[in-house]
Structure 1
Amino acid sequence: MSLFKNFHLPAWLFAGVLFLFAGCGGSDDDSLIVVRLDAETVNCNTTSNRIIAVGDAMTFVATILSQDVGDAWCSFSSFDTLIEPQFSKSGLVGVPMNLYLLRNETDQVREALIRVTFANGFSADLTLRQGAFSPTADFDRQWGEQPFFREGDTYIYKTYYTTLIRGGYVRNYSVCYDTQKRVSHWVAYPLTRNYVEPAVTRTNAWSYDPNTQLPEIPVQYQFNVANTYGTGDARGHQLPSADRYSNKETNAMTFYSTNIMPQNSDFNEGVWVDLENKIRDVRARNSRDTIFVVTGTYFAGNRYITARDGTRIGYPSNCWKVLLRGSGGKAVWDCSADELYGIGFWFANDASNTASLRSYATSIADIERKTGFSFFRNLPAGTVDAVKAQNRPSDWSL
């Protein structure tokens, strides 16, 4: 809540931003100050935020008046030092003020109330909310393709991060990994120029997930992909190796066990690779837009294959992809329904796939019905149903 002298603004007009009028009422030199938090609501893993004040130069004092749920978790000094938490700090309009947070490991949302008092006597209250602990908190809103999370006793959700030659430290891909089947139900990832350029050679770095990033997926629940399956089936990538050619480290992650599925060799080397190549072609022709992809497996029965080391691995009856892209370089959640393009592809995991790619095209909604997963949870409610209903192969040059 902000405090005004005989002046009230409707809350809907400036939601999330507090405006303060400085100076005496009725004077000719009244000025406007805007004060806000970088983010009013953050997830449980967020450890920093900022107070932003914009307007005429003047000093202010920010004070953390209260913070609920347990011990102090919000401070103006870093918790990584031996300095005691700092609950009040002086600042200057135009210079961002850092806030430091502890990760929230509780099952409750917690709030901190911060009062910002300016040199002219006006003040504003800011409320910072940090979400309760969630194992999927790092699945960010910007990740346009992210499916809704479906609970399963054998599921582990994990995101792998990497540093690109162009683009810095980013996510590589996310998985919904099944420790019983030793196969991911889905792998979700973005495709942009930065992930594929400058091109390096394929690493063939077949390996377990080394668990250098959390959460851990114990090796005993993975398949030793350095060996073939022993059945003549291919080690099929869900995120293609050729979609991650920025550098060797990024490419090597595509050879983790968690990204590999058993695929019929004819299927893997035929229509499946044709689809992967087509998606890259579409990406190159729409270079301003990110293509969001979810690749996955479906298990109609309870078939397993046995690897050479005796490990049992679930054998998918079907493999699929769902695709989403925006247009005009806009973020997908800023696009209207007619500016978004969505499609799905559904294949039997056998040698029967000899038709054109167009024959396997379907709607995202159809694949949701088949798999039980719901996709694109970050799209606005007003556009998502229309996009999921699309099945227009021509939008994808098919």
Structure 2
Amino acid sequence: MKLLHTLRPQSILYLCFACLTLFFVSCGDDNNPVIDDGKPVNKNANVVTTDKAVLRLEFPALKKTGRQQIIVHRLSNTDYDKDRVNFCTEWDCDKKSQRWSCYQLHRGFSGNHSRTGSFTADPALSEGDYWAEYTYFPGFDRGHICPSADRTFSKEANDQTFYMSNMQPQYHAFNGFDSKNNKNKGLWLRMEQQLQTWASNLGPKDTIFVCKGGTIDDEKNIIKRIDGKLIVPKYFFTAILRKYYINGKHEYIALGYWCDQTNSYRTNETIKQHCMSIEKLEQLTGIDFFCNLPDDIEANVEKNYNESSWKWL
């Protein structure tokens, strides 16, 4: 594995995987692995080398084959995050597509900075690792994976969400709304709005960890390639881990969201119809979510999905 870390605001880790042995390090906060009596309690945590961001709880297991680039979008101050992390993206340099973006939400995520950014190439990506000709996605929206609406606490944070590396081609009826009929909202948009509602109701010690993306690794999970190049995912997913403080300690619950992308508002379908356990979502995506949790907690929250644990609109 080769990693390169620059002094740009966005820390870049170039990941070229050959043989990879996962190891464990001792760290002391909720965004890092844990050592108990000198013994690892997490056997599948991500490797940490130059940037400990890969050990944050929102991160899934990094892909072990091909040419992947992990982009850590950092902010200029620690007002929102002590490590200045805004959100992170796994970019597949061979497919020239993003696999997922991951980030955190807490009660302070909202603010007054609305969508003012311009869609632009990610300065973290080298020429040849993305389709530079696609400033727009013909026939599709440029769908944010880390939403602009989840990063309104600063202009800098919001602007970073408009990097094209954070976009996937999405039908407007899946990603957006009908300006002539307020009842018509896409299933992806409704899921994002539900997540924002949950975040706005978090307690002061609570956090939601999110990993979202589209399916790019299996041909049967791809709608098409625009001009034979740009991948249009057939399915989109969201993995959600909620840490909440109750009875003097932190507890965790999780859920997965999996939805096929169609060019229809599908108002007869509910978000709940597309929710499932993380364990099932992992089977569908082939991604190991929340791998940085201690093994016992990870196993428990990933197999158990209790609909009643989530307050729905």
**TM-score computed with the length of structure 1 as normaliser:** 0.58
What is the CA-CA distance between 1:330 and the residue it aligns to? 10
Q: 1:392 maps to which residue?
A: 306
The residue that corresponds to 2:144 in the other structure is: 237
Change (3 A) 1:391 1:162: same
Is 1:220 aligned to residue 114 of structure 2? no
CA distance in structure 1 between the partners assigned to 2:170 and 2:189 by the alignment? 12
Give the conservation status (yes or no) of the 8 Å contact 1:344–1:363. yes
Deviation at 1:304? Answer: 4.2
Alpha-carbon distance, 1:226 to partner: 7.5
1:136 is displaced (CA, Å) by 5.5
| Match of residue 181 from structure 1 | 95
Structure showing greater radius of gyration is 1
Q: How does 1:32-43 map to 2 (within 5 A)?
A: none
Does the 8 Å contact 1:182/1:258 carry over to 2? Answer: no
Corresponding residue for residue 254 of structure 2: 342
- Residue in structure 2 matched with residue 298 of structure 1 by the alignment: 215
SS at match of 1:366: helix
Q: Does 1:284 align with 2:196?
A: no
Select 1:257's aligned residue among 119, 140, 164: 164
Q: How many residues get paired?
A: 254
**Gap runs ≥5 in structure 2:** 6-19, 24-46, 177-185
- 1:349-393 CA-partner distances (Å, limit 9, x unpaired): 113562000100011111111111101122111111110012223
Change in CA separation of 1:330 and 1:241 when aligned onto 2, cut-off 3 Å: farther
Separation in 1, partners of 2:277, 2:257: 8
From the superposition, tell whether residues 319 and 208 of structure 1 become closer, same or farther in structure 2 (CA, over 3 Å): same
* Mapped partners of 1:377, 1:144: distance in 2: 8
Does the alignment pair 1:210 with 2:130?
Answer: no
Tell me whether 1:192 sits opposite 2:113 in the alignment. no
SS of the residue corresponding to residue 328 of structure 1 reads strand
Deviations 1:207-264 (A, max 9, x none): 01113xxxxx21332244873212x211111100011112211111101111100112
Supply the distance in 2 between the matched residues of 1:161 and 1:329 (Cα, whole angstroms): 31
Opposite residue 325 of structure 1, the aligned amino acid is R
Q: Contact 2:70 / 2:91 at 8 angstroms: preserved in 1?
A: yes
**Greater RCO, CA 8 A, separation 6+:** 2
Superposed, which structure 2 residues align to 1:114-133 within 5 Å? none
1:149 to 2:62 alignment: yes
The 1:226–1:305 alpha-carbon spacing in structure 2 relative to 1, beyond 3 Å, is: closer
Conservation of the 8 A alpha-carbon contact between 1:303 and 1:315: yes
Q: In the alignment, is the contact (CA less than 8 A) between 2:60 and 2:287 conserved in 1?
A: yes
SS of the residue 2:233 aligns to = coil
Coordinate RMSD, CA, aligned = 2.9
CA shift at 1:163, angstroms?
Answer: 3.2
Distance in 2 between the 1:159 and 1:207 partners? 17
Alpha-carbon distance in structure 1 between the residues aligned to 2:68 and 2:78: 32
Q: Deviations over 1:185-219 (max 9, x none)?
A: 1111111233323x2121232001113xxxxx213
User: Counterpart in 2 of 1:248?
Assistant: 155
Separation of aligned partners in 2, 1:388 and 1:190: 18
User: Pick from 273, 280, 285: which aligns with 1:371?
Assistant: 285
